[in-house]
A and B are shown apart, each in its own frame.
Chain A
Amino acid sequence: MSENNSKAEEIVEEKAEEEEQEKKKEEKVIPYLEDVPFFGLQKLIVLKNKGIDPELIDEYIAKDGYQAAAKALLEMTPEEIIAEMKTSGLRGRGGAGFPTGLKWEFANKSEGDIKYVLCNADEGDPGAFMDRSVLEADPHAILEGMIIAAKAVGAHQGYIYCRAEYPLAIKRLNIAISQATEYGLLGNDIFGSGFDFHLEIYQGAGAFVCGEETALMHSIEGKRGMPRPRPPFPAHQGLWKKPTVLNNVETYANVPQIIFNGGKWYAGIGTETSKGTKVFALTGTVKNIGLVEVPMGTSLRTIIFDIGGGVPKKKKFKAVQLGGPSGGCVSEEFIDTPVDYESIAKVGAIMGSGGMIVMDNQTCMVDMARFFMDFVQDESCGKCTPCREGTRHMLQILEKITRGEGEPGDIDTLEELSEVIKDAALCGLGQTGPNPVLSTLQYFRDEYEAHIFEKRCPAKRCPALLEFEVDEEKCIKCGICFKRCPTEAITWEKKQPAKIDKDKCIKCMTCITNCPSDAIF
């Protein structure tokens, strides 16, 4: 008892200490940007223009904007541009990491008088907002990247496929296109070079699968956004069956600087196989959330703990989820993994488009897998059997497990379904959809087993597996739960342990989330 009392005092003391520190912080001099680890450890290429007025082309031009396009259009041949891109080692930032120079070379060599250059601004991963911020903060960089790509492959028409949920991005792209057209940087005879390039925006209705390249092209053609088998690849038969290049927003944002500073410069940043920088949308249980741009090869630890400031006090880092619904999680033991395409894949996750969700010990990994599977089965286009039917059953099994109705054999069925969906689905959505399940099974199989065999959720996140009772031994009698409970199901008096009335309890998890001593089970 007395031990508990002193614990309560401890917490009060801690609070006071925190407040003191806050005060001290206020008194401190304002540090330089580079001295704040969140900024100092980043390297900005894609985000270098943050802070300019994105609706004023002159501000972009003042930052060397359109110099690379001028160089590409006036001084370089398509082959030279492609060679420079290949030297840079830039790989597509949309997820798959395909070498951009090579992609352009295929499209350049593809026969055809009409070709297209497309930008994938569909960004459908939950929690990802890298592309959005580039589109909103630096739209001209994308235009310039596309102009250079157009010259490299011989295209005169381009489309930016942007989800309609990004109205500000669309507004700013429209302004950028009209300003660039006014300045003679888009349209006919750009820079007097004789090269024509026209650009339009196509608004997608926000289906995740429309980010898949063949579905995206169907969508622009006015058809239902469903993927088709490849080959033929878009470089040979893409939009309207014409040779087409499709790149991600972040990919294009790198291009002007590669042409301006040279491929060698770019290849000097990053690792052997992954060049340049990568933007991550850092979120979850970490102190500093936001966009983080780091050189490839930076370790997850640096990103999460040095730049992100680590997980808040009293919480413990558990895992980090990379690549959203197509990716996987990395547990603490692999936290020193450098972020490059190969190393991340080796530990069971993917680089993906840059979503990075930090999870603490209050995250139930089965529930997390269920969340992503819910997303995948909801976004499945329904065309192919394994994805349409298989993900539905995977979700059902995961729901069953989190409800406490898991049975022996469920893990095997999940693994069997995962294997076949990955192997036999038509497009990337299905082929990567089981990844969150597989990687949580790889690192946190014991959590699945606890749910199934012991009917217990170790992270205390699955309401169906919780008793909603107070462990009187652990309770420090602070009364926080009593104050927070929305249905007045908890009774508590000073110096007495709290009690939960199960009839009134709606299992909202408020008490469990807020209990400072983990006393409710």
Chain B
Amino acid sequence: MSSENIIVIDGKEYAFSPGETILEVAEKNGIDIPTLCYLKGASPTGSCRICVVEVEGARALVASCAAPAGANMVVRTESPRVLKARRLNLELLLASGQHNCLAQDMDVDSWTDFQLSAMGVKEHEDLCPAYGNCKLQDLAIRYQVKTNRFQPPDTRYPIENVNPFIVRDFSRCILCGRCVQACNEIQVNNAISFGYRGAESKIVARGDLALKDSDCVFCGECVQACPVGALISKQDLLAGPKHDETMMVRTTCAYCGVGCQLYLHVRDNKVFKVTGVEDAGPNFGSLCVKGRFGYDFINDPERLTTPLIRENGNLREASWDEALDLVSERFGRIKEDSGPDSIGVLCSARITNEDNYLAQKFTRAAIGTNNIDHCARL
């Protein structure tokens, strides 16, 4: 190993490959530099300034998510100077909106006033839905940051709650830009971006439209990327922030053959949210609108739970054996009466490649026709 590619982090030497960022080298070696805006898989924006570190010889602090590791660089990740900046940054973020969780240091009266003002915002009747599952809250606890000296600004932009899937609560947005990166760089939908300027900044869709009127396809990638309670799925909001009662069930999405890995968030034996599994292929956390939001069929009373056979115009429940026997018998009869080419099979994108293969085998070998097609060709 060439001695050129050695970096010193918190007093210890580590090897790095050219092009790696300081954060990546630290992560690889078990050094925990906190981040907020950093989104794996997207280009670093360096916007939240939480991951700043001290680099010897540099005039100002450096965002470790964006700065490439350099030969003989001497980095300190938790020096007093770093901590001072990180803590004040956290304090500023806590004071940037309606973060009415525990990370506030107020006397009883101001606390009450603050809660009342937060709850006064339309649809803020309950505690922040991200409570207990919020990166800002985690960091505030980790760095013991409480605030009461900075006044949160008036809520500038009302909550957007006009689509069936996503609630946008701008009063809790910390403008980290993860949603923008997720939408533009990971899903490449280019539906949202930064709008306005300075303290007026807002994440906007097109020329500041509601998501439903914009280019948004409701993949929900932004919701999964949001580290705080600014982008919440509607079901999640209804379920409330009882994270300790949530059971996570890992499974494979049943909608198509890609096989996206997902977590079902289950409470009271009901799925109330779906997220992508971030460290597993093929999707690495991404999902489409169906996989992420199309789960209400699970508990739908109309959902079929057994095969049904129509008799005299009415459907009656049947066993699988009975139903399959009936289908095979009828297929046999049609083939005999009208020839195999009178039958055609159309496959679905919801089944895997292997199942599709079996379907064409069945069509050709068992039925004896080439009338096999797939919905993806329609």
A420 touching B46, Cβ below 8 Å = no
A389 touching B199, Cβ below 8 Å = yes
Interface string of B58-99 (1 = CB under 8 A from A): 001101001110000000000001001100110011011000
A423 touching B60, Cβ below 8 Å = yes
Q: Which A residues, 333 to 349, have Cβ-Cβ distances below 8 Å to chain B?
A: none
Nearest chain A CB to B354 CB, angstrom units = 43
Nearest chain-A residue to B44 (Cβ)? A229
Cα–Cα distance between A388 and B97 once the two chains are bound (Å): 13
Decide yes or no whether B45 CB sits under 8 A from chain A: yes
Q: Which A residues, 407 to 430, have Cβ-Cβ distances below 8 Å to chain B?
A: 413, 416-417, 419-420, 422-426
A392 touching B89, Cβ below 8 Å = no
Other-chain residue from A231, A382, A417 in contact with B175 (beta carbon distance below 8 A): A382
Nearest chain B CB to A408 CB, angstrom units = 13
Nearest chain-B residue to A376 (Cβ)? B198
Q: Which A residues, 423 to 477, have Cβ-Cβ distances below 8 Å to chain B?
A: 423-426, 431
Provide the main secondary structure of the chain B interface: loop
Decide yes or no whether B357 CB sits under 8 A from chain A: no
A377 touching B46, Cβ below 8 Å = no
- Which of B6-14, B149-157, B160-168, B299-307 lies at the interface with chain A? B149-157
Decide yes or no whether A379 CB sits under 8 A from chain B: yes
A377 touching B199, Cβ below 8 Å = yes
Q: Which A residues, 200 to 236, have Cβ-Cβ distances below 8 Å to chain B?
A: 207, 224, 226, 228-229, 231
B92 touching A390, Cβ below 8 Å = yes
Cα–Cα distance between A379 and B89 once the two chains are bound (Å): 20
Decide yes or no whether B25 CB sits under 8 A from chain A: no
Decide yes or no whether A254 CB sits under 8 A from chain B: no
Other-chain residue from A224, A380, A422, A424 in contact with B198 (beta carbon distance below 8 A): A380
Q: What B residues does A231 contact at CB under 8 A?
A: 67-68
B199 touching A420, Cβ below 8 Å = no
Decide yes or no whether B353 CB sits under 8 A from chain A: no
Other-chain residue from A224, A385, A392 in contact with B193 (beta carbon distance below 8 A): A224
Given contacts A393-B150, A424-B61, contact A386 B89 (CB under 8 A): yes
Interface string of B277-298 (1 = CB under 8 A from A): 0000000000000000000000
Q: What B residues does A388 contact at CB under 8 A?
A: 175, 198-199, 201
Interface string of B32-45 (1 = CB under 8 A from A): 00000000000011
- Which of B47-55, B242-250, B309-317, B342-350 lies at the interface with chain A? B47-55
Nearest chain B CB to A430 CB, angstrom units = 9
Cα–Cα distance between A425 and B68 once the two chains are bound (Å): 18
Nearest chain-B residue to A389 (Cβ)? B92
Q: What A residues does B95 contact at CB under 8 A?
A: 389, 393
Q: Which A residues, 60 to 90, have Cβ-Cβ distances below 8 Å to chain B?
A: none
Decide yes or no whether B200 CB sits under 8 A from chain A: yes
Other-chain residue from B46, B200, B201 in contact with A426 (beta carbon distance below 8 A): B46
**Centre residue among B47, B60, B67 by max chain A CB count within 10 A:** B47
Q: What A residues does B196 contact at CB under 8 A?
A: 382
Q: What A residues does B67 contact at CB under 8 A?
A: 229, 231
Given contacts A423-B60, A424-B60, contact A384 B149 (CB under 8 A): no
Nearest chain B CB to A302 CB, angstrom units = 31
Q: What B residues does A422 contact at CB under 8 A?
A: 60
Q: Which A residues, 345 to 389, have Cβ-Cβ distances below 8 Å to chain B?
A: 377-386, 388-389
A385 touching B47, Cβ below 8 Å = yes
A229 touching B88, Cβ below 8 Å = no
Decide yes or no whether B362 CB sits under 8 A from chain A: no
Q: What B residues does A381 contact at CB under 8 A?
A: 197-198
Nearest chain A CB to B332 CB, angstrom units = 64
Decide yes or no whether A21 CB sits under 8 A from chain B: no
Cα–Cα distance between A224 and B96 once the two chains are bound (Å): 23
Cα–Cα distance between A108 and B238 once the two chains are bound (Å): 60
Decide yes or no whether B320 CB sits under 8 A from chain A: no
B88 touching A416, Cβ below 8 Å = yes
Decide yes or no whether A396 CB sits under 8 A from chain B: yes
B47 touching A383, Cβ below 8 Å = yes
Cα–Cα distance between A229 and B47 once the two chains are bound (Å): 9
Given contacts A229-B63, A423-B61, A426-B49, contact A380 B199 (CB under 8 A): yes
A425 touching B49, Cβ below 8 Å = yes
Q: What A residues does B220 contact at CB under 8 A?
A: none
A423 touching B85, Cβ below 8 Å = yes
A377 touching B198, Cβ below 8 Å = yes
Cα–Cα distance between A378 and B49 once the two chains are bound (Å): 20
Decide yes or no whether B194 CB sits under 8 A from chain A: yes
Cα–Cα distance between A377 and B85 once the two chains are bound (Å): 19
Given contacts A420-B84, A424-B52, A425-B49, contact A385 B89 (CB under 8 A): yes
Nearest chain A CB to B197 CB, angstrom units = 5
Nearest chain-A residue to B50 (Cβ)? A385
Decide yes or no whether B229 CB sits under 8 A from chain A: no
Nearest chain A CB to B347 CB, angstrom units = 43
Interface string of B184-208 (1 = CB under 8 A from A): 0000000001101111110000000
**Centre residue among A224, A229, A385, A391 by max chain B CB count within 10 A:** A385
Nearest chain-A residue to B68 (Cβ)? A231
Q: What B residues does A386 contact at CB under 8 A?
A: 49, 85, 88-89, 92
Nearest chain A CB to B172 CB, angstrom units = 14
Q: What A residues does B47 contact at CB under 8 A?
A: 383-385, 426
Q: What B residues does A379 contact at CB under 8 A?
A: 197-198
Given contacts A384-B46, A422-B60, contact A226 B194 (CB under 8 A): yes
Q: What A residues does B89 contact at CB under 8 A?
A: 385-386, 420, 424
B85 touching A382, Cβ below 8 Å = no
Cα–Cα distance between A390 and B149 once the two chains are bound (Å): 12
Cα–Cα distance between A514 and B57 once the two chains are bound (Å): 53
Cα–Cα distance between A378 and B200 once the two chains are bound (Å): 9
Cα–Cα distance between A422 and B89 once the two chains are bound (Å): 12
Cα–Cα distance between A386 and B95 once the two chains are bound (Å): 12
Q: What B residues does A423 contact at CB under 8 A?
A: 60-61, 81, 85
Nearest chain A CB to B52 CB, angstrom units = 5
A228 touching B46, Cβ below 8 Å = yes
Given contacts A229-B63, A424-B61, contact A382 B200 (CB under 8 A): yes
A382 touching B93, Cβ below 8 Å = no
Decide yes or no whether B177 CB sits under 8 A from chain A: yes
**Centre residue among B46, B174, B199 by max chain A CB count within 10 A:** B199
Nearest chain-B residue to A426 (Cβ)? B46
B49 touching A380, Cβ below 8 Å = no
Q: What B residues does A419 contact at CB under 8 A?
A: 84
Q: Which residues in A have some Cβ–Cβ distance to B below 8 Å? A: 207, 224, 226, 228-229, 231, 377-386, 388-393, 396, 413, 416-417, 419-420, 422-426, 431
* Closest CB pairs A-B (n = 9): A382-B201, A229-B46, A389-B92, A229-B66, A380-B198, A424-B85, A420-B88, A392-B199, A424-B49
A-B contact pairs, 5 of them (CB 8 A): A229-B45, A231-B67, A386-B85, A389-B96, A392-B198
Q: A207-B197, A384-B47, A416-B88 are in contact. List 10 more A-B contacts (CB 8 A).
A: A226-B194, A379-B197, A382-B194, A382-B200, A386-B49, A390-B88, A390-B92, A391-B198, A393-B95, A422-B60
